[in-house]
Amino acid sequence: MQVAVASYGARIRARRGLLVVEGREGRREYPLHQVDEVLLLTGGISISARALRMLLRAGATVVVMDARGEPLGVFMKPVGDATGAKRLCQYQAAVSGRGLEIAKGWIWRKIRGQLENVKRWRRRLAKYREYAERISAAADALRHAAEPHDVLEAEAAAAEAYWSAYREVTGFPGRDQEGGDPVNAALNYGYGVLKALCFKSLLIAGLDPYVGFLHAEKSGRPSLVLDFMEQWRPRVDAVVAKIYDGLETEGGLLTHQSRLRVAAAVLEELGAAGKPLSAEIHREARALARSICT
């Protein structure tokens, strides 16, 4: 279970096995053993040391996010399935080319997810057939990609058609990572939630979040997280396309209410009953750790 807290002045504490969140919207209680993540979406939130200790002891994480949705920090137990051997395997995969093949699989899933979204929106798209064909062609090109720039070219070709379709569906001006319009701000925020979950899962699996297979290394950039999360970005896109109407920004940032709405919708997608995406992410992270050492 993921718990998002976005009310300025909210207080979080633990009491009799429950996580208690109190604020202007009232009081919410969650069984501590069912909480996987607590997302702090704004400033002015207080959390007691007892609640923090009990969350960490139960294996939950507490994520502090900035106003753009970027995770600023992740509190979690300093343990997991961590061994030096797994990280050594990861480093070898990064330089041997095996990691690139793994990353290709993630980009392929991303492109397939983009195609599924476009098919879902087909009745709203004047150029549906053109978009679908261009994205399918990019997926075919990816199969033959042998170098990182080939993979990136295929990804970019799919993205060009995909975001054109997205513009028709939402009316947004186009994909811009720094964009201050409600749709771009919501996409960035949703990706931030996804990024925090992927970061945690890779760490627990014993991998180094900063050594990736496709994204270039840069100081402070969690390249493996960025590689790994690509496969689920279309799920966030689909959520934002459902709820974009009515979202508001101030100064290029989502308002508190819009921030909570985006986070709640993305978390609902991550934890959907029956087939929770959060469980899939944890499972894929563990499978990655196993596969690179065999």
Q: Give residues with Cβ within 8 angstroms of 77, minimum separation 6.
A: 56, 57, 59
Q: How far is CA 274 from CA 3, 80, 242, 280, in A?
A: 18, 26, 21, 11
292 Ramachandran zone, left/alpha/beta (phi>0; psi -120 to 50): alpha
Q: How far is CA 53 from CA 14, 50, 59, 60, 109, in A?
A: 9, 5, 10, 10, 37
Alpha helices in the chain (DSSP H): 49-57, 84-96, 98-120, 128-143, 148-170, 182-204, 223-229, 233-243, 256-270, 277-291
Q: At what angle do helices 98-120 and 148-170 cross, to 10 degrees?
A: 20
Residue 178, marked binder: no
Residue 230, marked binder: yes
Per the CB < 8 A criterion, the answer to whether 157 and 136 are in contact is no
Per the CB < 8 A criterion, the answer to whether 229 and 244 are in contact is no
Q: Report d(CA 244, CA 62) in Å as an integer.
A: 27
Tokens 């064909």 appear where? 133
Residue 153, marked binder: no
Binding residues for Mn(2+): 155, 215, 230
Q: Detail the residues annotated as belonging to a binding site.
A: 155, 215, 230
